[in-house]
């Protein structure tokens, strides 16, 4: 089996934060080798719009290139050798070092645009004296041919002479591929996703190959800026809106005004575009600003003017709705308007909402198709209201509506048969999800319908399939994300036909914990542990372990024959043995748990920071305190917030302390005696101790168990579960309070635009997110009992009483904690104070609190306390009776009308007019706790760039 090189073109990696998280097609590419490439990838040449340059004549089978060799440890000299392309899959090529034989398993996959690939002779041309470069085959080939090196090199040179070298135009094409006419910061007009009849000025935030991240910024926004979750085109924290540079969503500055399209922009911008539109209309040179995107930025296909003249309002066509939530059908549509900009029309789907759902498109758009296309190729056609999809007939419909079809010559011609043949059912490609355009996913062609591809996202259910024209700017060759430094999203969705945990399919489906706790990561960690063990044994002088063996282990660390592994597991009834023996199980679990905790602590810190921000923002907002759920003295909402934060902070500290003290099992052997290692090192106990310490450090742990049985003490697992249960208890207390306060009308958790509060009572806004948190919290609260039972039932050096239970318990608790914290973060980011209701509640109680102040003042003035108490009690009861009978607000001055209060009345009224006077140190306590307790504790875990949470459900 070939090896896999992770190489990336670094010039555009301004998007990806963690390169390891992108999708590299390893399993599929190795599968293609086994099947002799009967199923493969769509070739680069098949994609038209997405490739500024084609490499079809440059990179193909048999071509030889120069490549960096990383086997040698050299500081000032770079080692290179030569390799030949054996097969091409998208941007990935299978190559073999010159001089290697097929049976040596030296073949490797590499991206053709890697920064480690060069034209033959590149090193020599850069450094004729070869002081900074040296040509040398990989170490394994060198060692094999060491005894006959001269003959080997001679044969290698002969092979080079007979091969076709990578063309010199490779570098130019490579450079052009990453070039863009657009620049970050440029201003552009963007179609409003939520209102397709409106455009807004926006700015280019990032550029990734042909794809642009375009957002409406504060500097261009007209009106008061509010971060709205329902508008994903706004430049909110962490927002992304990725589209192709030829997307129908974007237009040059002035386009809206030139075409009479609604423009949501500031007055200054509107005046600027009015001048541009006037200049264009007069045939003058438009006076664009320096950062304006102009028509010259776009490369719309040229159209025949005679054909354009045939476009009429009312003409019919079939449309893939570009603003739909599903892309699995075509819709009956009409031309509603012919715009001033040449080739542009407004298209709407036939029906009562045609105008509202209309969209401006270029007539050669990959979303529009001629009348009859769906029927010809067996696609579903969605018809207007009142018509039956199955019996709909275009001829009778156009006769009824007195319309005609949009002329066929205006549509893109059918591609050549040669190009169509490049797309095969089952072939792999990468596709941008048109519903969530920031996601690019590994995908397969499911069906071919003329020039339309029905694409299935690998691992997703068929209900998420999408239709793409073969000229769509949202499909790419395999390896496209890798070379552009863009994270590729690979996610398996739940199937209605089988059970899957809702934690992974509903609440945490995009969480990094899904990968960390996955079977693939677990298996990778087992193999990595063997590598660390071998490296450490070699470092300690164990001659049986060779560098060649370690290199072979590294090359195959990520290569999994899952079908074979599963068959072995069924046969052996032991998953660890299926991966070749049992050393790694506990240690791999500990690494995965540690990495999960690290992520959870970052999430936890963000949650507490969001709650702290809410508390500081409301530190002076007065509300009624409640003891026994009854009204009590006044507090501030901010002070109540930091009380919640204190509960969460204590749970956070417990988990962080556990993480710091977490121990690695280490190298202990089958029953913890280290007997086999003692034998390997000739009974040298110090070497065994050193080996244990070396592997522990390589695994990233500072502490290890000194003694173990076959497993480490399950008491450590119980401590982890207890720390997570504290999170559950704290969160349940907080969310129960929020539910109560929402019932009292004081707070309102975030309520999404299309959220349904109650199936029976549509007007209700139920605290569903807080209720979910309480439900998830109960899982964590009740888990310590199971963890303690697992600990208690672990017999002698090892029994399997713990195995099945902890495989379920610990991942479930970690994922439950992630789901709980994610929901909490969303709550705190959108939690609002019902200001008017809070003020009314305070007004109902403030008079009674004023009477308490009056008693203290009268007593200080020398009035008998018993007499004061009697008079105040009578006044309070009378006021309350009046309120209960009439519902009127209690007037403190009227309540204190008795001359008995003459000496203190004005002072009390003055206090009551400003309720903050009754809250003691609430404001300062809030600020002090945030600054002196919260921020120092969470500081090192806090990701200040963390985006706002968007819940999937």
Residues labelled catalytic = 628, 758
Distance CA 392, CA 484 (A): 45
Nearest CA to 258 out of 242, 270, 241 is that of 270
Nearest CA to 699 out of 528, 565, 522, 555 is that of 528
The residue count for the chain: 953
Q: Is 337 helix (H, G, I), strand (E, B) or coil?
A: strand
Inter-residue contact 502 to 37 (CB < 8 Å): no
Distance CA 880, CA 889 (A): 10
Strand partners, 97: 83
Q: Compute the C-alpha angle 99/103/108, nearest 5°.
A: 70
What is the DSSP-derived secondary structure letter of residue 668?
-
Distance CA 663, CA 665 (A): 7
Distance CA 799, CA 836 (A): 62
Distance CA 455, CA 450 (A): 14
Kindly give the residue spans of alpha helices, DSSP state H, lying in 745-802.
Answer: 768-781, 783-792
What is the DSSP-derived secondary structure letter of residue 82?
E
- Rounded to the nearest 10 degrees, the angle between the axes of helix 715-744 and helix 637-661 is 170
Cα 927 to Cα 611, 612, 618, 831, 931: the distances in Å are 13, 9, 11, 19, 6
Sheet containing 452-457: order of strands:
466-469, 452-457, 440-449, 428-432, 475-476
Q: Is 54 helix (H, G, I), strand (E, B) or coil?
A: coil
Nearest CA to 575 out of 807, 805, 843, 355 is that of 807
Distance CA 326, CA 329 (A): 8
CB atoms inside a 10 Å sphere around CB 149: 13
What is the DSSP-derived secondary structure letter of residue 664?
B
Q: Which two tokens stand for residue 77?
A: 């000299």
The backbone torsions φ and ψ at residue 805, rounded to the nearest 5 degrees and listed phi first, read -60, -45
Q: Is 62 helix (H, G, I), strand (E, B) or coil?
A: coil
Nearest CA to 320 out of 312, 338, 332, 334 is that of 332
Surface-to-core class of residue 943, CB atoms within 10 Å of its CB (0-12 exposed, 13-18 middle, 19+ buried): exposed
Inter-residue contact 18 to 486 (CB < 8 Å): no
Nearest CA to 673 out of 682, 662, 685, 663 is that of 685
CB atoms inside a 10 Å sphere around CB 547: 14
What is the DSSP-derived secondary structure letter of residue 948?
P
Where are the strands (E) in 515-666, listed by range? 622-627, 630-636
CB atoms inside a 10 Å sphere around CB 662: 18
Where are the strands (E) in 363-451, listed by range? 368-369, 381-382, 428-432, 440-449
The backbone torsions φ and ψ at residue 683, rounded to the nearest 5 degrees and listed phi first, read 65, 20
């Amino acid at each position: 089996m070939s090896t896999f090189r992770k190489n990336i073109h670094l010039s555009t990696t301004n998007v990806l934060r963690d390169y390891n998280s992108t999708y590299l097609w390893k399993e599929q590419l190795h599968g293609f080798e086994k099947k002799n490439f009967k199923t493969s990838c769509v070739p680069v040449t098949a994609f038209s719009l997405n490739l500024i340059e084609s490499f079809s004549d440059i990179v193909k089978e048999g071509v030889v290139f120069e490549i960096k060799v990383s086997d040698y440890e050299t500081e000032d000299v770079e080692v290179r050798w030569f390799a030949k392309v054996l097969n091409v899959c998208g941007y990935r090529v299978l190559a073999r070092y010159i001089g290697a034989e097929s049976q040596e398993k030296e073949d490797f996959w590499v991206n053709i645009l890697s920064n480690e690939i060069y034209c033959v002779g590149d090193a020599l041309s850069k450094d004729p004296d070869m002081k900074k470069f040296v040509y040398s085959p990989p170490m394994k080939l060198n060692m094999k041919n060491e005894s006959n090196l001269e003959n080997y090199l001679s044969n290698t040179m002969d092979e080079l002479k007979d091969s076709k070298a990578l063309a010199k135009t490779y570098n130019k094409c490579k450079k052009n591929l990453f070039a863009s006419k657009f620049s970050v910061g440029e201003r552009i007009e963007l179609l409003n996703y939520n209102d397709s009849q409106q455009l807004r000025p926006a700015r280019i935030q990032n550029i990734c190959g042909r794809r642009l991240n375009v957002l409406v910024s504060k500097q261009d926004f007209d009106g008061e800026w509010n971060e709205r979750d329902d508008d994903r085109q706004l430049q909110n924290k962490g927002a992304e809106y990725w589209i192709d540079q030829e997307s129908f969503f974007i237009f040059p500055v002035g386009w809206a005004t030139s075409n009479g399209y609604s423009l949501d922009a500031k007055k200054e911008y509107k005046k600027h575009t009015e001048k541009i539109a006037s200049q264009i209309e007069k045939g003058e040179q438009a006076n664009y600003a320096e950062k304006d995107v102009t028509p010259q930025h776009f490369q719309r296909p040229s159209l025949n003017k005679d054909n354009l003249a045939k476009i009429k309002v009312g003409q019919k066509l079939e449309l893939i709705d570009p603003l739909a939530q599903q892309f699995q059908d075509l819709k009956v549509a009409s031309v509603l308007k012919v715009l001033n900009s040449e080739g542009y029309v407004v298209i709407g789907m036939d029906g009562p909402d045609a105008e509202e759902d209309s969209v401006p498109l270029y007539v050669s758009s990959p979303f529009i198709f001629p009348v009859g296309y769906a029927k010809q190729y067996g696609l579903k056609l969605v018809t207007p209201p009142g018509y039956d999809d199955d019996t709909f007939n275009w001829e009778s419909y156009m006769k009824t509506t007195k319309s005609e079809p949009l002329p066929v010559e205006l549509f893109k011609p059918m591609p050549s048969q040669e190009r169509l043949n490049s797309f095969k059912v089952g072939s792999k490609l990468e596709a941008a999800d048109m519903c969530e355009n920031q996601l690019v996913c590994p995908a397969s062609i499911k069906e071919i319908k003329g020039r339309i591809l029905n694409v299935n996202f690998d691992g997703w259910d068929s209900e998420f399939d999408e239709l793409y024209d073969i000229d769509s700017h949202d499909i790419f060759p395999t390896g496209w994300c890798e070379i552009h430094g863009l994270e590729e999203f690979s996610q398996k969705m739940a199937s209605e036909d089988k059970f899957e945990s809702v934690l992974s399919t509903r609440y945490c489906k995009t969480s990094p914990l899904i990968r960390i706790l996955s079977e693939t990561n677990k298996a990778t960690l087992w193999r990595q542990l063997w590598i660390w063990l071998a490296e450490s044994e070699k470092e300690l002088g164990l001659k049986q372990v060779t560098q060649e063996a370690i290199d072979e282990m590294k090359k195959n660390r990520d290569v999994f024959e899952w079908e074979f592994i599963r068959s072995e597991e069924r046969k052996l009834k032991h998953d660890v043995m299926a991966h070749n023996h049992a050393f790694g199980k506990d240690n791999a679990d500990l690494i995965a748990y540690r990495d999960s905790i690290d992520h959870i602590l970052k999430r936890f810190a963000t949650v507490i920071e969001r709650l702290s921000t809410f508390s500081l923002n409301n530190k002076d907002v007065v509300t009624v305190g409640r003891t026994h759920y009854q009204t009590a003295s006044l507090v501030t909402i901010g002070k109540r917030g930091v009380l919640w934060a204190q509960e969460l902070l204590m749970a956070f500290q417990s988990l962080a302390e556990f993480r710091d003290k977490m121990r690695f099992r280490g190298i202990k052997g089958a029953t913890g005696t280290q007997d086999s290692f003692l034998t390997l090192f000739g009974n040298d106990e110090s070497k065994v101790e050193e080996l244990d310490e070396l592997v522990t450090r390589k695994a990233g742990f500072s502490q290890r168990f000194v003694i173990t049985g076959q497993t480490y003490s399950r008491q450590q697992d119980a401590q982890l579960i207890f720390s997570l249960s504290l999170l559950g208890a704290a969160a349940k207390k907080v969310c129960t309070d929020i539910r109560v306060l929402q019932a009292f009308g004081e707070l309102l958790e975030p309520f999404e635009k299309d959220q349904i509060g109650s199936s029976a009572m549509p007007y209700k806004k139920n605290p569903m997110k807080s209720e979910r948190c309480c439900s998830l919290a109960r899982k964590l609260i009740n888990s310590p009992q199971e963890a303690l039972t697992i600990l208690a039932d672990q017999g002698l050096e090892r029994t399997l009483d713990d195995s099945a239970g902890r495989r379920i318990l610990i991942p479930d608790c970690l994922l439950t904690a992630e789901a709980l914290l994610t929901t909490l973060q969303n709550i705190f980011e959108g939690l609002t104070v019902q200001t008017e209701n809070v003020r009314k509640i305070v007004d109902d109680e403030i008079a009674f609190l004023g009477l308490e102040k009056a008693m203290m003042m009268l007593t200080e003035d020398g009035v008998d306390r018993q007499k004061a108490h009697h008079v105040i009690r009578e006044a309070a009861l009378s006021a309350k009776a009046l309120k209960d009978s009439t519902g009127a607000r209690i007037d403190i001055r009227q309540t204190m009308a008795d001359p008995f209060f003459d000496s203190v009345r004005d002072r009390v009224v003055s206090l009551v007019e400003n309720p903050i006077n009754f809250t003691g140190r609430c404001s300062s306590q809030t600020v002090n706790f945030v600054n002196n307790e919260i921020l120092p504790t969470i500081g090192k875990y806090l990701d200040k760039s963390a985006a706002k949470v968007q819940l999937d459900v």
